[in-house]
């Protein structure tokens, strides 16, 4: 088959169409939020966290009962109009104590994650950026501390510091930053050779500015995901410590304390253990769903 000039025609030039913006420009965080909203489980987890937080803040204030009010006439009551989730063996309203326990658990989770975020980012950022002997010494310290399970560290610290909410935060803050430090160090090692870091050095930026103005902001995706997933770990650790008697002191109501109090009479009054266990499970699932959604939304490889 022979090709002739009649079989071809020039393509018409559409300058306006070529320069038209078909899709609006979005930033990295706007695109991450758009993809996060498309993840149903992550959004369900986010709304559950918001609801639990509101209940923890305003629930005990609006309740007609106090978490420590005892009534010998209302012992071990089942679900009723007066007590929506029943009462415990001392006649205390179980719903109020669960709401107050949510306040303690969320406080521990958020503050422990904040301490973990601050210490881990600083430690890992310095270790990854300077490298060499500084990195070797700092990471050997992390490896030594990581050689023993973190929960065992926390239990030993709680035995020394004595039970209490403040001491729980201290114990968690001392050991929960190890994983964050490793993640931040790995991110900094891969980012510090980028061209924008070289450009910052060229214009005279000092090391602290390069770390906190250039490297850390570009590593915020994995940092945010790790911080979010550390919150349910801290909540579960606090509940476990309270369950074995190393948590908050009576009559303060923690979910672990409620589970421990309900255990002896579990066969006779199972709802006293069921409701705190459900509260712990829902909270941990919500944070894990949100953390998984953030991991997918902040992954630049999945950006379209």
Q: What is the pLDDT of residues 19-66, one digit of tens each?
A: 555 566 677 778 888 888 888 999 999 999 999 999 999 988 888 887
* Residue 234: φ, ψ to 5°: -65, -40
Give the position of tokens 């589970």.
259
Q: Categorize the per-residue pLDDT at 164 as very low, low, confident or very high, splitting at 50, 70 and 90.
A: confident
Q: What is the spatial distance between Cα 187 and Cα 218, in angstroms, rounded to a whole number? A: 9
pLDDT score, position 157: 79
Q: Which residues of 66-86 are buried (b: 16+ CB within 10 A; e: fewer)?
A: ebebeeeebeebeeeeebebb
- pTM: predicted TM-score of the whole model, two decimal places: 0.81
Q: What is the pLDDT of residues 60-86, one digit of tens each?
A: 888 888 777 777 777 888 888 888 888
Mean pLDDT of the chain: 83
Q: What is the pLDDT of residues 257-294, one digit of tens each?
A: 888 888 888 888 888 888 899 999 999 999 999 998 98
Check whether 302 has a pLDDT greater than 60. no
What are the boundaries of each domain within the chain? 35-56+82-302
First to last CA, the chain: 43
CATH number listed for the domain at residues 35-56+82-302: 1.10.3720.10
């Amino acid at each position: 088959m022979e090709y002739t000039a009649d079989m071809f025609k020039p393509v018409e030039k559409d300058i306006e169409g070529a320069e038209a913006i078909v899709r609006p420009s979005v930033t990295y965080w706007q695109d991450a939020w758009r993809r996060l909203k498309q993840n149903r489980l992550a959004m369900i987890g986010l709304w559950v966290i918001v609801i639990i937080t509101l209940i923890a803040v305003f629930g005990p204030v609006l309740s007609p009962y106090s978490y420590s009010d005892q009534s010998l006439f209302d012992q071990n009551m089942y679900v009723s109009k007066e007590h929506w989730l029943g009462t415990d063996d001392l006649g205390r309203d179980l719903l109020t104590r669960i709401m107050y326990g949510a306040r303690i658990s969320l406080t521990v989770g958020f503050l422990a994650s904040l301490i973990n975020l601050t210490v881990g980012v600083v430690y890992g950022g310095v270790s990854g950026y300077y490298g060499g002997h500084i990195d070797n010494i700092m990471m050997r310290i992390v490896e030594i501390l990581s050689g023993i399970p973190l929960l065992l560290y926390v239990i030993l610290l709680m035995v020394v510091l004595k039970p209490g909410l403040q001491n729980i935060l201290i114990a968690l803050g001392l050991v929960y930053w190890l994983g964050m430090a490793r993640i931040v160090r790995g991110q900094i090692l891969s980012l510090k050779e980028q061209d924008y870091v070289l450009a910052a050095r060229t214009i005279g930026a000092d090391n602290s500015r390069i770390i906190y103005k250039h490297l850390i902001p570009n590593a915020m995706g994995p940092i945010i995901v790790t911080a979010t997933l550390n919150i349910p770990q801290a909540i579960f650790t606090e509940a476990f410590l309270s369950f074995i008697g190393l948590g908050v002191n009576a009559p303060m109501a923690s979910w672990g304390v409620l589970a421990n109090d309900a255990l002896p009479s579990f066969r006779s009054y199972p709802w006293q253990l069921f409701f705190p266990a459900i509260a712990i499970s829902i909270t941990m699932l919500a944070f894990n769903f949100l953390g998984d959604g953030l991991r997918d939304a902040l992954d630049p490889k999945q950006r379209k």
